[in-house]
Amino acid sequence: MGTLGPLEGAAYILATLNAASAVTAIATGGIYREVAPQQAINHPPYIIVRYQGGADVMGAFADRLFTNGLYQVAIYGPDNSLLDTALFPGAQAIDTALHRTAGTAQGGIILACYREQPLILSEVVSGSDILWTRVGGLYRLLVQ
């Protein structure tokens, strides 16, 4: 098998989220892989998809059967009152779009996609006292 796994998995997540109108309506800053551009940071909320790691699942004679990958998918934004922001509805829209799905992306087959862990992380932006939070989950993808 010539598949890289992590790239096909990220492409699947990005395509699935961009096709979900409930997600794009909330993530007005856009949906990105690894890092958001400055324009997204200036117009939150936005979503970032990050590959966290994984492993190839091997068969006989070192045949790669599929890649078992973990991705962090989260919506980011300022958070003066977490429950009053679009972050929780955004995380719910992400989960509705991704959890218990399968499909194809860039020549790879996504055997399964599901949320393995919920995620809420907050930090104070350097040089200010504005709290930013990311809400979403860690999603497991089995990519062939």
Query: Residue 1 above 50 pLDDT?
Result: no
Nearest to 95 by CA among 142, 53, 54, 47: 47
> In sequence order, which residues have a C-beta less than 8 Å from that of residue 79 and are 6 or more positions away?
85, 87, 122, 131, 132, 133
Where are the chain's structural domains?
6-143
- Structurally, at CATH architecture level, domain 6-143 sits in 2-Layer Sandwich (3.30)
The per-residue pLDDT for range 5-32, each reduced to its tens digit, is: 889 999 999 999 999 999 999 999 999 9
Q: What is the pLDDT of residue 72?
A: 98
